[in-house]
Every structure is written in structure tokens, then in C-alpha cells.
Amino acid sequence: MIPFINVRAQREAYLKEFQQAENEVLDSGCFIGGPVVQALESSLAEFTGVKHAITCGSGTDALTIALLALGLKPGDEVIVPDFTFIAPAECVMRLGGIPKFADIDAETLQVSAESIESLIGEKTRGIIAVNLFGQCAPYAEIRKCALANGLWLIEDSAQAFGAMQNSIPACTFGDISITSFYPAKPLGCYGDGGALFTANDELAQRIRLISNHGSQTRYIHEICGMNSRLDAIQAAILRVKFRHFKDELKKRNENARKYNEFFRAIPGIVPQKIAEGNTSTYAQYTVLAEDRATFLKQLESAGVPYCIHYPMPLHTQPCFKELAQVCESLSASQDCASNATVACQKVVSLPMCAFTDVDEIIARLKKVM
């Protein structure tokens, strides 16, 4: 059985390091925050070159904290991609904001700066750009658009910690950038975890305050915050994986290169385009299949697992339809022929991690395609 993501092989490869790091935390009696979390935050800041890296409970929490730190108010509009995981739009809604759904580029599948620009209105306060499947969104255009319109920018790099754009690392493009350490992510822990990045001292202070019950001094609560902190055991696991991260990124890219070479000879199946100047973490290796039903049958007969990231444009999700106010805001961007809608009908993600045996997968596919 080929796993979609082989977390077990990774565990076995670094087992001694994991066990030592895990035992150290369990024996220390310090389970939330503390020196291991601080050491991880320093490594994250050093890796990205961002002044402040602040860990928290999950990528979704990181988005919520970022929106709170930037002062989102009920009724504020925030532009999010129509084609991505639910979290950016969900977090805006949870805080009483209104997500406006921007279309994507048909080939890179990244949110389109042109579409963002077309959605800006009087109530628009900010943009959440997503680095989809491991590649950065087009930040030159998006940042220009944010700046020209006085909007803040959140970079959702849940899938792309470790990616580069024109030699600049991901997690450096937003007023606040975030990532996720969900187990399936390129740098994942053994539960939920996330981090925020900012160069701004004031925002960093607010982020720390919000994520720790609005408190800097024990039992003094300056604002109503939340409990969103990274467990020390997760930080210890991440520190082990971080030692091997660059190596794993190379292996992911090598696996993507093998897939690309194979699909080059297959008409009707086109991998997500990596735009010039970008490197990808390949959080997902995703192709667009003209005849998806046939391709899925071929994968099934070859015993190759797959996922559909994502089956429907976010603006059509039931959770957004129920809210009349949001439906109203959708009408401008709703378009049955949008690139997001077409992508949802064609996308297929294939097994991808540093331990995926892509040679075996290709050998199996050659027999059925």
C-alpha cells in the first residue's frame, strides 16, 4: 500500500533523534512554552530572516490571531482566494468579517492580483494571500495593490514554509505571515501547531499578547485574548525535523521533477505551473487532468492514492451560502467559468513527501496509462 504521505518512514529515519528530544521534554516537566519553544522560534526567525517568529496552536489560530492583531472589525471585508483550504475565509467569518473571494491564475493556481484589485471596495481592509501547494503567490503585484489601496496583507504560508520567490523566503511577504505545522505539512509536528512571522515590533507584541490570554504578567489580562500556544513536545519534534528540512525539500523537488518528466509525455495531464523565480515546497504535487474521471480510475487500478485539493470553490461552500450578507458580497465575483471553478473540476494531488517512492508510482502508472 503506497501512503499518500509517509510519516511513518520519516519517524523511522530519525527515530533516535525523536526519542531523545521527546524524552528530554517529558523529563523536564516544562510542557508549554519554555526553552525548547524559544529555541524553535529563534531557528524559525533565523531561517526566514524575519525579526519575530511566534509559535501558536495551529495555522488556523495563527490566521485568527493575525486578523485580531491587525484590528479586524465586524463588517470589514477581507479578500481571500476562492480556491484554497477553508481556513482563511473561515477565520474572517468567525470574527464577523466578510470574505470576498478572488479568482486564481489558471496555470499556477495562485490567487490573481488582478482579481483582488477588482474586489476592493470601501469596506475592504485587507488581503489574505495563500501560497498554494507550496509556491508563493505573486507578491510583487499583490503588495503593490495592498500598498496603493491602504490595505494590510496576511501571507498564508501554511503550505509553503521553506519556499522562495526571487531568492526571498516565504513568510516574509505579509505585514503578518503565518504557517502551519499540521502533520501533513512539509514541516509538520505530531499534532496541531502553527507560527506567525512579522518584522513589526508592535504587531509582534500584540500577537504574543493575544495568543496568551491577553496577558504579559501572570493573571493581569490587558485584552481578551485566547489560549493558543505550541506544546514543548511539538517544538522538540519540529526541531528534529528542522535539522533535515533542507534535505527533505531537495528530495521533494526531485520527486516533483520525476513526476513532471513522466506527465510531459501524457496528453491531457498538466502539473501545476511553478512561476518563474519561484521554488516550491511541494506541500502537494497537483496536476490538472482534462478527463479526471478516467485518470482517477487509472490511479485506483494502479493502487496509487490521491486527493482532490479542492473539490469546490470556497464561495459555493454551504457554510458561506447560509449567510445572506455574504451571498450578496459574492455575486460580484461569482462566475461559473472562473478559473477556480474549472480547477476544482480538474485537480488531482498525488502522493508526495521526501519518503515517497515516485519511481514505484510511475512504474505502476506506466502499466495503466
Residues that bind ligand PLP (CB under 6 A): 58-60, 84-85, 87-88, 130, 156, 158-159, 180, 182, 192, 194
Q: If DSSP codes are grouped into helix, strand and coil, which group holds residue 285? A: strand
Residues 14 and 240 sit within 8 Å (Cβ to Cβ):
yes
Nearest-CA neighbor of 159 among 228, 79, 59, 32? 59
Alpha helices in the chain (DSSP H): 7-13, 15-28, 35-48, 59-69, 87-94, 113-119, 139-148, 201-211, 232-243, 245-264, 292-302, 318-321, 324-330, 339-346, 358-368
Query: Nearer to ligand PLP by C-beta: 157 or 212?
Result: 157
Query: Nearer to ligand PLP by C-beta: 255 or 281?
Result: 281
Query: Nearer to ligand PLP by C-beta: 76 or 192?
Result: 192
Question: What is the edge-to-edge ordering of all strands in the sheet holding 168-169?
Answer: 168-169, 164-165, 278-279
- Rounded to an integer, what distance in angstroms lies between the CA atom of residue 63 and that of residue 48? 18
Query: Nearer to ligand PLP by C-beta: 59 or 99?
Result: 59
- Rounded to an integer, what distance in angstroms lies between the CA atom of residue 170 and that of residue 173? 7
Query: Nearer to ligand PLP by C-beta: 97 or 194?
Result: 194
- Rounded to an integer, what distance in angstroms lies between the CA atom of residue 135 and that of residue 163? 6
Q: Smallest distance, Å, CB 60 to ligand PLP?
A: 3
Q: If DSSP codes are grouped into helix, strand and coil, which group holds residue 342? A: helix
Q: Smallest distance, Å, CB 182 to ligand PLP?
A: 4
Q: Smallest distance, Å, CB 161 to ligand PLP?
A: 11
Q: How many helices (H) and strands (E) does the chain have?
A: 15, 15
Q: Smallest distance, Å, CB 192 to ligand PLP?
A: 6
Query: Nearer to ligand PLP by C-beta: 77 or 192?
Result: 192
Residues 332 and 339 sit within 8 Å (Cβ to Cβ):
no
- Rounded to an integer, what distance in angstroms lies between the CA atom of residue 54 and that of residue 34? 13
Q: Smallest distance, Å, CB 327 to ligand PLP?
A: 23
Nearest-CA neighbor of 59 among 171, 202, 146? 171
Residue with the CB atom nearest ligand PLP in the bound state: 59
Query: Nearer to ligand PLP by C-beta: 61 or 76?
Result: 61
Q: Smallest distance, Å, CB 355 to ligand PLP?
A: 20
The amino acid at residue 315 is H
Query: Nearer to ligand PLP by C-beta: 228 or 298?
Result: 228
Query: Nearer to ligand PLP by C-beta: 60 or 272?
Result: 60
Q: Smallest distance, Å, CB 283 to ligand PLP?
A: 8
Q: Smallest distance, Å, CB 230 to ligand PLP?
A: 11
- How many Å is the Cα radius of gyration of the chain? 21
Q: Smallest distance, Å, CB 181 to ligand PLP?
A: 7
Count how many residues are written for the chain: 369
- Rounded to an integer, what distance in angstroms lies between the CA atom of residue 225 and that of residue 306? 39
